[in-house]
Amino acid sequence: MNKPLKVMLVDDQKMANFINKKLIEVTDFAHNILAYTLPDAALLDIETQKPDLIFLDLNMPIIDGWKFLDNLQQNKNFTQVVIVTSSTSSIDKEKAQNYTQVVDFLIKPLTRNTILSLKNKLTAGS
């Protein structure tokens, strides 16, 4: 990792953000973590914050993960996205492959090991 990562967490569950933030901190995955429970607020901030990576939940009211992704594509924002969902449905995983900016599809609960694997994957990829 050349520089500390800036990560944006988007999950309507405050506790999910709390847990994932904690995991990111203890695994030293990123130093700058922005947590959003409102997806539209996250979309508004994205251009000014310019995060390196977005942790995106799928099942959210009003703007769900898919709408969030569609919105990014419309705005030609190609920030890398890691989907973090509690759904084990294979349909969602297949659908995620339609979005090139989705770099990983993780199923909750995240663990230290999942974060470390992701870290390795992104390092190898960059």
Partner 1 sequence: MNLAGAKYRITYEAFSKFSGSLGKVDSIEMLGEITNRHLKYLFNFRAFRILLLDKDSISGYTFSKGKIYAHNNSENILDYEKELLEKHTPFSEPVKPDSLPVYLSELDLQNGVLWGWYISYPDYRICVSLLSDDNVKFNHTDSDIMHMLVDSITSKYRQICLSEELKCKNETLQDAIAQIELKNREIEAINSNQQDVINNRTEELLNKNKKLLDLSRLNSHNLREPLTRILGLIEVADHLDSKELKETMLPEIKTSALELDTIFKKVVQQSEEEAKITINQDGGYE
Q: Write out the residues near partner 1 by the rule CB under 8 A.
A: 13, 15-16, 18-20, 22-23, 25-26, 58-59, 85-89, 91-92, 108-112
Nearest distance from residue 74's CB to partner 1, in Å? 25
Least distance in angstroms from the C-beta of 72 to partner 1: 22
Which DSSP symbol is given to 102? E
Residue 86 in tokens: 């509690």
Nearer to partner 1, 46 or 82 (CB): 82
Q: Does an H or E element contain 17, and which?
A: helix 14-26
Please report how close the Cβ of residue 92 comes to partner 1 at its closest, in angstroms: 8
Instruction: Work out how close the CB of 43 gets to partner 1 at its nearest, in angstroms, rounded to a whole number.
Output: 22
Q: Which is nearer to partner 1, 89 or 100 (CB)?
A: 89
- Beta-carbon contacts of residue 55 (< 8 Å; ≥ 6 apart): 7, 8, 9, 10, 11, 20, 82, 84
| Comparison of 15 and 124: residue with beta carbon closer to partner 1 | 15
CA distance 84 to 87: 9
Tokens found for residue 92: 């969602």
